[in-house]
Amino acid sequence: MKHPLLAEALRVFWSLKMKFKKFNTINKQEIDEVKKILETGTLSGFVAEWGHSFLGGERVKKLEEFASAQFSSRYCISYNSWTSGLISAIGAIGISPGDQVITTPWTMSASASAILHFNGVPVFADIDERTFCIDTNSVESLVNEHTKAIMSVDIFGQSANTENLMRIANKYSLKVISDSAQAPGAMRNGRPAGTLTHFGGISLNYHKHIHCGEGGLLFTEDENLALRARLLRNHAEVSIVGSDHENFNNMVGFNFRLGEIEAAITAIQLTKLSSIIDKRRQLANILDQEFADIAGLITPYVDSGNTHVYYVYALRITDKKIRRIKDVLVERLRREGMDFLDPKYENLHLLPVFQKKIAFGLNGFPWNLNDAGRNLSYKKGICPVAERMQDEEYLGIYLNAYDFEEDDIKIFCQTFKKIWHDLQDSY
Ligand SMILES: *Cc1c(COP(=O)(O)O)cnc(C)c1O
């Protein structure tokens, strides 16, 4: 554009026009169903004592039946958040104070804080630069006598390599929990993410593919683990009375119960999941094609056996110039009204709670419980790939931000390419 004023006018016009549609999966179906429940006046069916109502209301039970069929999982346990589901999974597998759980630094903080809530110690393995999921090759060397479990995360919408993790787990008698919060409906070797390990599950919070406001679904094939997870959901210490449950370890419970309204909404949302994913994949296809000809930009790698649901479309910038100024690229796009890119993902090991090793009280608990914990280091450098991705290569397109149409994505790609080339010329 020769004339600067004209260029500016066009830019302003463009940003006014650029109104992406809100991502909204709720419609009349949910509204009608919620009305029916409100009219009954009974919004939760849970009672904290052993018996029929220990497992929740009618809608909760129906949802769990429905979800376990849809995910081909023997047991489904619903929660008032996926964080609650993760905490219950950690408790159910019997994490004791000072036990170590190997996890990944590329996840939402709840994956690691769930470990801390049972006084376990998170140990961070590095990530695979192609998928951003836990690098299964970096896990085994972290196993020691205190290691009890692996918490892997299906980050951005595809499964981690669960076969490798289960092989390591079987070798050292560990349990594996999959945090599939961002990958509802993603498959690995024909099975849904979240059902390939001892425990797994999805989030139903407002920012995910499907939601009920706040909620989560936990899956397992193991009857005893399911019972323990259900006890922890509903005041285990009192609910256990009258049950035939005899293992009391970690059985100080919570109120992690899902209400009837949220359960009914979730049941409807689940029926929409596959069409939401289909649309998402079409958008990802366009992005793949549009970005194919940009040198120095790598489009998402889908691991063999996986299908991807693209919660985030995660790019890697290898162009030496642009990767130093990816913040500028993101800012320029923001100024064009495209505010759904992120140049960073949190490296959890660098958070103050781990840097200072203070979780509960002031004396380094739970790290101070054994030498392995005391000697554990979270210093910068322990996860070189994760750190390099954050500082240099990673660029995420948050596809959940709006209800994008194919044309939106095409226009976005044109703008992206223009700015990319401008930056190459001007820096
Ligand atoms: C959203 C998310 C969570 C937490 O789920 P909530 O339902 O908000 O508690 C945990 N892990 C990951 C990877 C997530 O994306």
SS (H, E, C) 262-315: HHHHHHHHHHHHHHHHHHHHHHHHHHHHHHCCCCCEECCCCCCCECCCCCEEEE
Convert 319-346 to b/e letters by CB count within 10 Å (16 or more is b).
beebbebbeebbebbeebbbebbbbebe
Local confidence band at 19 (pLDDT 50, 70, 90 cut-offs)? confident
Cα of 320 vs centre of ligand 1, distance in Å, is 33
Q: Are 84 and 233 in contact (CB under 8 A)?
A: yes
The closest alpha carbon to 107, from 96, 122, 117, belongs to 122
Query: Could you say which DSSP state residue 348 is in?
Result: G
CB under 6 Å to ligand 1: residues?
A: 81-83, 107-108, 110-111, 153, 179, 181-182, 203, 205, 216
Instruction: Ligand 1, residue 83: give the atom nearest the CA.
Output: 9
pLDDT score of 142: 98
Instruction: Ligand 1, residue 205: give the atom nearest the CA.
Output: 7
The closest alpha carbon to 151, from 105, 208, 119, belongs to 105
The residue-averaged pLDDT of 338-359 equals 95
> pLDDT digit string (tens) for 36-70?
999 999 999 999 999 999 999 999 999 999 999 99
Local confidence band at 13 (pLDDT 50, 70, 90 cut-offs)? low
> pLDDT digit string (tens) for 262-315?
999 999 999 999 999 999 999 999 999 999 999 999 999 999 999 999 999 999
Pocket residue to mutate for ligand 1, from 106, 108, 199, most atoms within 8 A of Cβ: 108
> pLDDT digit string (tens) for 175-217?
999 999 999 999 999 999 999 999 999 999 999 999 999 999 9
pLDDT score of 244: 85
pLDDT tops 90 at residue 353: yes
Kindly report the pTM of this predicted structure. 0.95
Pairing of strands 121-124, 100-103: parallel
Pocket residue to mutate for ligand 1, from 106, 179, 203, most atoms within 8 A of Cβ: 203
Pocket residue to mutate for ligand 1, from 79, 113, 179, 312, most atoms within 8 A of Cβ: 179
Share of the chain above pLDDT 90, in %: 94
